[in-house]
Amino acid sequence: MVPLEVLGVSQADKTGYPVVLLRHENRILPILVGMPEARAIQIVLMGETPPRPLTHDLICNLLAGLNGQLQSVSIYKLQNDIFFAHLNIEQRSASGQVEQVLRVDSRPSDGIAIAVRMKCPILAAEEVMDAAAQDPSILGEGEEENEDGGDGDEDEFEA
Beta strand spans in the chain (E) = 2-11, 18-24, 27-32, 68-79, 82-92, 98-106, 122-124
Whether 158 is in a domain gets the answer no
Rounded distance between C-alpha atoms, residue 131 and residue 126, angstroms: 9
Look at residue 154 in the predicted model and tell me its pLDDT.
40
Q: What is the pLDDT of residue 145?
A: 45
**What is the pLDDT at residue 16?**
84
Give domain status of residue 155, yes or no.
no
Summarize pLDDT for 93-128 with one digit per residue, the tens: 989 899 999 999 999 999 999 999 999 999 999 999
Whether residue 159 lies inside any domain: the answer is: no
Does residue 142 have a pLDDT over 70? no
Contacts of 89 (CB under 8 A, 6+ apart): 63, 68, 69, 70, 71, 101, 102, 103, 104
Question: Cα angle at 26 between 107 and 72, to 5 degrees?
Answer: 35
pLDDT of residue 12: 80
pLDDT digits (tens, 9 = 90+) for 2-57: 999 999 999 887 778 999 999 999 999 999 999 999 999 999 999 999 999 999 99
**Beta bridge pairs of residue 9:** 20
Could you give the CA distance from residue 12 to residue 20 in angstroms, rounded to a whole number?
Answer: 9
Please count the CA atoms within 13 angstroms of the CA of 56 that sit on its side-chain side. Answer: 26
Residue 147 confidence (pLDDT):
42
Query: Is 96 inside any structural domain?
Result: yes
Which amino acid is located at 104 in the chain?
V
Sign of the torsion angle spanned by Cα atoms 110, 104, 77, 123: positive
Is 150 contained in some domain? no
Domain count, the chain: 1
Residue 36 lies inside a defined structural domain of this protein: yes
- What is the structure's pLDDT at 137? 84
Residue 129's Cβ-count burial label (10 Å; 0-12, 13-18, 19+) is: buried
Look at residue 154 and tell me if it is in a domain: no
CATH number at residue 118: 3.10.690.10
pLDDT at 13: 77
Parent domain of 38: 2-138
The whole-number pLDDT of residue 69 equals 95
For residue 139, what pLDDT is reported?
A: 78
Q: What is the pLDDT of residue 100?
A: 96
